[in-house]
Amino acid sequence: MSKILITGATGFVGQALCRRLRKAGHTLSGASRNKSLRAGPENIPLYYVPADQANADWTHAVTGADAVVHLAARVHVMKDDAADPLAAFRQSNRDATLALANAAAEAGVKRFVFLSSIKVNGEATADTPFSEADAPAPEDDYGVSKWEAEQGLNELVKTSDMEIVTLRAPLVYGPAVKGNFLSLLRACANSRPLPLGGINNRRSLLYVGNLVSAIEAVLDHPGPVSGTYLMSDGDDLSTPALARGIGDALGKPSKVFGFPVGLLRIAATCLGKSAAIDRLTGSLQVDSGKFRETFAWKPPYTVADGLQATADWYQNED
């Protein structure tokens, strides 16, 4: 079994990953910016890393580790109060990632797994899903910072013996999910009428249980496996189908009704929500075939399984 350092261990994905890897018998540790927090999920020990992770000394955290899974990030936010959002994203997502990766390489870590984002590819697809062959085209600060981190990692892998695997994920959902998915979940739970029936799109999602299964497959693979891989559940849904699926999982059929998409866009623009309506109405599909073939992996959970687990969590928390 391996010794694995997980950054972001106390987060949404991190907690699920700790549970899975602990069950598999791996020895885990985590990193935290909270100096008073001594233990993480599954009671794993936590190394304190200052908030300025780009200039932090990661030596104590990576020493003795066989692998590092880097989940910690400054995530995409709708209302950013940073004076210079791009600089803030770069510091957390690019500079801290590269500082950690360099420290891991110097410490002899064998494998480094970086959770990136499909936003590196772009915000929407037309006729074909995104694949690893597509030229990166990030459109926001978050996507730019992730792409710049990837470029730095691609250079590092050329000069070190450490294997580096980058996973670009679409929207990740599951128990303890936040953001827009939680908002849709709440709307369905409250039986709110949803004017989504006229939307004809397809969007890839990734259930957290499938993501942590994929990360485990990367850690366990005999290698070499360095490279960039796109991830998804493999069953893309339209926005109205997603709402109906959530409603079914909650036991409350969703009140989805038809409404002209053009009028939705006009209303959203007037309210300053054009980006949100683009995500609701546009398509974003991911081809995860390369990952499945390389790692002989297929998602252990269906979308229905993921939605049910998420709905059960929400109802128990409510």
Q: Which residues are catalytic?
A: 142
Taken in order 27, 154, 223, 204, the sign of the CA dihedral is positive
DSSP annotation of 162: -
Phi, psi angles (nearest 5°) of residue 79: -125, 100
Q: Which two tokens stand for residue 191?
A: 């039986």
What is the rounded CA–CA span in Å between residue 234 and residue 306? Answer: 12
Phi, psi angles (nearest 5°) of residue 52: -80, 75
What is the rounded CA–CA span in Å between residue 257 and residue 67? Answer: 49
Phi, psi angles (nearest 5°) of residue 172: -100, 130
Q: Which residues pair with 113 in a beta bridge?
A: 69, 165
Cβ atoms of 9 and 25 within 8 Å: the answer is no
What single string gives the DSSP state of each residue in 102-142?
HHHHHTT-SEEEEEEEGGGT-S--SSS-B-TTSPP---SHH
What single string gives the DSSP state of each residue in 26-71?
-EEEEEES-TT--B-GGG-BEEE--S-GGG---HHHHTT-SEEEE-
Pairing of strands 67-70, 171-173: unpaired
Q: Which two tokens stand for residue 34?
A: 């909270």
